[in-house]
């Protein structure tokens, strides 16, 4: 496991930060897919669908769900939390992923504009999510560390695990890390 991925003991934000690092790697791959589609004027629909699946199931259904159902309400009940527009950014991200999925289908039917639409949606999504992650790593991490004791942090971490297990089963991080690793092997690991 890379050294930049923190351990998750006693720190609920470490769980989210670990997921952020994996999401950033998937964003790198998405950027490489965009570069390849620009170069070839075609889109590898299967790989694009893999990234879309990752973003829907891991970034949104696993990661954002933990924030929206568990972390944000816990912060709000323990202290003042302005939210910083985080939930609206989650919603905008969902719209961009939906736009990418629609563009993949168009491009799969031979629509050249679908390839360009995919790239536009993807680059917009990449920028949005990178800024969103930076905001969370900066602001949200500080709020979490100031708000919760070790015991409360342990409880939140357990709630994250329980939610993940209920929604997607065991081994979620490992399953989605394998998807990213396979795409990195094909497209390279260089950051976009």
Q: What would the DSSP string read from start to end of 107-145?
A: HHTT-HHHHHHHHHHHHHHHHHHHHHHHHIIIIIHHHHH
The sign of the CA dihedral 23, 24, 30, 32 is negative
User: pTM of the prediction?
Assistant: 0.90
Q: What are phi and psi of 10, to 5 degrees?
A: 65, 0
Q: What are phi and psi of 155, to 5 degrees?
A: -60, -45
CATH topology for 12-187?
1.20.120
30-86 pLDDT, tens per residue? 999 999 999 999 999 999 999 999 999 999 999 999 999 999 999 988 876 666 788
How confident is the prediction along the chain (192 residues), in pLDDT tens digits per residue? 344 444 445 689 999 999 999 999 999 999 999 999 999 999 999 999 999 999 999 999 999 999 999 999 999 888 766 667 888 999 999 999 999 999 999 999 999 899 999 999 999 999 999 999 999 999 888 888 888 888 999 999 999 999 999 988 999 999 999 999 999 999 987 544
Contact 181, 26 (CB under 8 A): no
């Amino acid at each position: 496991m890379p050294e930049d991925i923190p351990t998750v003991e006693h720190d609920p934000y470490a769980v989210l930060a670990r997921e952020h690092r994996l999401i950033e790697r998937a964003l790198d791959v998405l950027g490489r897919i965009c570069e390849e589609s620009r170069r070839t004027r075609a889109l590898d629909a299967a790989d694009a669908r893999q990234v879309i699946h990752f973003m829907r199931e891991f970034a949104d259904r696993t990661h954002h769900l933990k924030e929206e159902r568990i972390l944000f309400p816990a912060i709000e009940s323990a202290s003042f939390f302005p939210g910083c527009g985080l939930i609206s950014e989650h919603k905008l991200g969902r719209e961009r992923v939906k736009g990418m999925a629609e563009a993949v289908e168009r491009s799969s039917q031979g629509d050249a504009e679908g390839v360009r639409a995919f790239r536009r949606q993807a680059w917009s999504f990449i920028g949005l999510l990178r800024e969103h992650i930076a905001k969370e790593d900066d602001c949200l991490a500080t709020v979490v560390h100031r708000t919760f004791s070790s015991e409360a942090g342990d409880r939140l971490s357990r709630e994250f695990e329980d939610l993940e297990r209920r929604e997607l089963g065991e081994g979620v991080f490992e399953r989605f890390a394998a998807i990213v690793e396979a795409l990195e092997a094909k497209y390279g690991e260089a950051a976009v």
